[in-house]
Structure 1
Amino acid sequence: MSEKYKFHDPAGIYFVTSTVVHWIDLFTRNEFKHIIVDSLKYCQKEKGLLIHAWVLMPSHLHMVISTKGKSLESIMRDFKKHTSRAIIKALDRINESRKEWLLKAFEKAAEKVQRVSSYKIWQDGNHPIHLDTNELQEQKVDYIHNNPVEEEIVDESVYYWYSSTRDYLGQRGLLEIVLVE
């Protein structure tokens, strides 16, 4: 992996993207979206994750994050590991019409990686980009909040529930947000 895409500054703010293997639209079911939200809440409470902006799209998660606790690298690793297991368990208990297809896709992705024994849900890496200026931070927050509009999921970003847009408009969203100024 390139040295360019690593968490070099432990006190820094980073833009990260976590993508489902093969860009599969996994987060179309509420159960899967709630796994992500609940896991992020846990990381905030127990691991010191600070979320400045976020959006959960059908195939990926964008965030602007920093930490007051564990390293961002370890938080993201643990987050992906936990959510992968939780999603596989959820596939067994919910009525998902794509269950067999999803499991085969995740199993095939795992075949290519020695450290993964059965299913691989997330692509490797988080592509962290250090946001070392206010201009970069604002640019990425705007990008995150406009993502559902650009993808034609909603007309206005405030109507997309799985995002921090509402927090930036003075409303309460799903996660605790530390606004970038």
Structure 2
Amino acid sequence: MSNHIHLVVQQKDGKLSEWVRDFKKFTSKKLLNLILENPQESRREWLQMIFEYHAKFNKRSGVPIAIGIQFWTHDNHAIELYRPEMIESRMKYIHENPVRAGIVEKPEDFLYSSARNYSGMKGLIEVDYW
């Protein structure tokens, strides 16, 4: 999806909120650098304006806020998945998301989805199966 991400994550130490914080910090630095330092990115100025706009309304804006930019929102929609049926249901929802959006016909056709891994195809990231 182009404007959000779904993750099913287990944090072995039970510190999921710290993991989410670190994930957002790491990915925002990397993605902002890719966007703002790439002269070929045609939307660079527009994206910087959007990031700066949203940073104005957030008192907790973090790195790289020195330049007044926010990449991720600060809210999460965490759902505790404590039964295998719940995990399966959430995974189905996540995998069907690009189909519902009209991006692909089948979940495994979406390049950025773990549906590829679950269908026996090569995915972009390694998946730890539960």
Same fold (TM over 0.5): yes
Cα separation, 1, equivalents of 2:31 and 2:13: 26
Give the structure 1 partner of residue 108 of structure 2.
158
**Does 1:115 pair with 2:60?**
yes
- Report which structure shows greater RCO (CA 8 Å, sep ≥6): 1
After TM superposition, the score normalised by the length of structure 2 is 0.86
Letter of the structure 1 residue corresponding to residue 3 of structure 2: S
Residue in 2 aligned with 1:86?
Answer: 30
Task: From 48, 55, 59, give the equivalent of 1:103.
Answer: 48
Task: Give the AA of the match of 2:129.
Answer: L
- Of 58, 62, 65, the residue aligned with 2:6 is 62
Moved over 4 A (4+): none
1:126 to 76, 87, 104: 76
Greater strand content: 1
TM-score w.r.t. the length of structure 1 is: 0.63
The Cα of 1:76 is off from its aligned counterpart by: 1.2
In the alignment of these two chains, the number of paired residues is 124
Q: Unaligned 5+ residue runs, structure 2?
A: none
Q: Structure 1 residues 94, 74: CA separation in 2 closer, same or farther (over 3 Å shift)?
A: farther
CA distance in 2, matches of 1:83, 1:112: 21
Cα offset, 1:142, TM superposition: 0.3
